[in-house]
Amino acid sequence: MPGKDDGPSVKDDRLYEKLRKQGDSKEKAARIANAAANEGRSKTSSRGGRAGSYEDMPVDELRKRAAKVGIEGRSKMKKGQLVKALRDH
């Protein structure tokens, strides 16, 4: 097929090219460019919901999530500590 690029399917060509010039691999640049292009879309997909950012959640919701995964000492943790514990779990 004339003019067809055999490279990765990219949704944000400008960002992809910028990342390639910075030295990122084709695969990494495509992942980042596609993720950035998808950020503006709805937060749900046909596969299921997408979790929001921990920073946007109230402390009581973070504590509930911490309890679900079994993080000890969560009742005394501050918000930043809860976020870190959930991310590191």
Kindly state whether residue 4 falls inside one of the protein's structural domains: no
Higher pLDDT, 89 or 76: 76
83 and 65 housed in the same domain: yes
Sequential DSSP letters for 25-78: -HHHHHHHHHHHHHTTS-SEETTEE----GGGS-HHHHHHHHHHHT-TTGGG--
Which residues form the domain of 37? 13-45
Per the structure, the count of domains in the chain is 2
Kindly state whether residue 38 falls inside one of the protein's structural domains: yes
Kindly state whether residue 5 falls inside one of the protein's structural domains: no
* Predicted model pTM: 0.44
Kindly state whether residue 7 falls inside one of the protein's structural domains: no
83 and 61 housed in the same domain: yes
Q: What's the rounded Cα separation, in Å, for the pair 17 and 13?
A: 6
The encoded tokens of residue 18 equal 């910028």
Kindly state whether residue 80 falls inside one of the protein's structural domains: yes
* Integer Rg of the chain from CA: 19
Write the pLDDT tens digit of every residue in 25-83: 888 888 888 887 777 554 444 555 566 688 888 999 999 999 999 999 999 999 999 99
